[in-house]
Each structure stands twice: as structure tokens, then as C-alpha cells.
A and B are shown apart, each in its own frame.
Chain A
């Protein structure tokens, strides 16, 4: 994964419809394939908790086996839970019907993204100096 020649940054959008029919292993494989291409994934929706931990496990396994790969930076932005019972019920119902696609997941290769700073309302991507990208 040589990024020394990288002079642009690609954000690849992955709509929820592209991953909704995939099983967990296929989803993670698809996302990591994009990241290994030195692209930043912008995914509609979010992974399940167990899929997120599986993503971390698979990432760790790849660090040892793919030359130059140092891991990922990951961030998820979700709408705030409503304070009202009715609001939360509506959101829960919508999630049941169409999946959890009201969130945004960003996954970037650690060789390109130095840090993702997240607070409740924004995600800031700090990129590595081009000269230090591998």
C-alpha cells in the first residue's frame, strides 16, 4: 500500500442499499477493500456493535499481513436520541423498517488520516503530511 505518490484524496460513498443485503463478514470485507485502496469510506448508516469490533479485529490481522497498512481511523455520527418516549419510539420503528441508515460512518486508512476528531455534531479529519504517508 504505497501512498507516496498520493496527491489527491478520494472519498468513496457507500450507500446503505449497497451493504444492507450483505452479511457481517461481507460488509467488513467490502469496507476494508476500499480502505486498502487508500480511499476514505463515507458509509450511509452504521455497523452493528459486534460488526464494529469485528472490523477492529480484521484490521489488526491486516496490519500484520499487508505491507504498509497501519490500521484505520473510524468515526460514526448519529442523530441525538430524542428526549421524548414518542420520539425514540418513532426512531426505533424507522430503524426496524429501513435499518439504521440515519447515521454516517467514516473509515479512513491510518496511513492517510492521522486522526478523526469527533464531537457530538462534527467529525474533523486530520490528514498525515504527504511526505510522511506510506
Chain B
């Protein structure tokens, strides 16, 4: 009986801590190899203790949408419950021979390409089901890529709150200013998802974005 009372007491306290907008769906979008899964993994590890998916240097490692339900975000006393949606990278071209250049055999490369095309379609379909989006861009790459423009244009058309994570700032040739110049209407936060650099600032921005 005492245990039951204590259990109810703690569950009420716990529920109160995370009350507000529950299960806000945050989508991680961007071109392949920007670091979406690495960032989703970092968040999941920080708030749930478990990673979400595998990462690889070969593009299109994530070929199916991956979820983390009930991620209890707690940053400097700010609490929120998120559902994180890690999407396959959006691309306009998928060539199995590109995978072969990364060492995959032809059969394996063709299979990966087929799955990757389906993944892109799935990512786009998921735009209807997210409440806010983190666009993850590789800060070492040219941001004026049409895929980036298309993704952000679609988010604007859907009136979704957006934050841009300029990832890989640990690399020498990262250029956050170029991303800021390409997308001046959006908040750009420079991070290194791999090493957790500047992740606190990203969490602060994500919280503010989710409150919108």
C-alpha cells in the first residue's frame, strides 16, 4: 500500500515536470551525411541513455525513418517531451556506383541505392507529421545546394518552426557564416554533434523553437 502511494506520488511529480506540450514531434532533416543521426544519437544519449541509429561515412546510411518516442528533454531546468524523428537524407540523385566507390560490392550498392530512393520519398512524406524541424547541414559544404533550399522552402510553406544546425564545426574548413548568409531568416547554431561541441547552445535554441 505504501509502495503504491509512493509510486503514484512520484509519477504525479514526474508527470508535472514534463507537462506542457507533450510529444512534440521534432524532425531532423537535411542532405545525406550532414550528421542528422549523429545529432539525434547525441540527444537520445543525453536524455534517454540510448542511441537511435547507426552512422557511417558512406552516404545514405539512414534509409528508413527512425524514431525515439518520449524523449524527456531536460536542459537547465527546462523540461519538454519530444518525439524525435531522424529522417533519411534528401537527395535529387542516387547512383549505386557512388556507393561502389566507397567499397561496396555492386549487388550491395544497388540494394542500398534502391532503399535510399525509398528513404527520400519517406522523408518528404514525413514533413506532414512533424511540428518543428532541425535542418542539419554540413558546415564544410556549400549551403547553396538546391536540396537545402527545397527543404527549407517546404518548411516555410508548411509554416513549421525551423532551426539550422551547422554541424561539423570541429573541422577546419567549417564555415558557419556562409550558412548564415545563405539562410538569413533562420537561427543558425554551429555544433559538432560528434564531439558535443556547443550542444548546450543548441539545446537552448531547440527549447525556444519548441515553445513557439
Contacts and interface: CB of A to CB of B under 8 A. Distances in A.
A61 B93 CA distance: 11
B146 interface: yes
A57 B93 contact: no
Contacts of B120: 56-57, 60
B154 interface: yes
Nearest to A54: B124
B106 interface: no
Interface residues of B, number: 25
Nearest to B96: A70
Interface in A75-134: 75-76, 110, 116-120
B149 A53 contact: no
A119 to B, nearest CB: 5
Contacts of B144: 118-120
B156 A49 contact: yes
Interface of A: 48-50, 52-53, 56-57, 59-61, 63-64, 70-76, 110, 116-120
Interface of B: 90-95, 113-114, 117-118, 120-121, 124, 127, 142, 144-147, 149-150, 153-154, 156-157
Nearest to A110: B93
A66 to B, nearest CB: 12
B157 A49 contact: yes
B130 to A, nearest CB: 14
Contacts of B114: 64
6 contacts: A49-B153, A56-B124, A63-B117, A74-B150, A110-B93, A118-B145
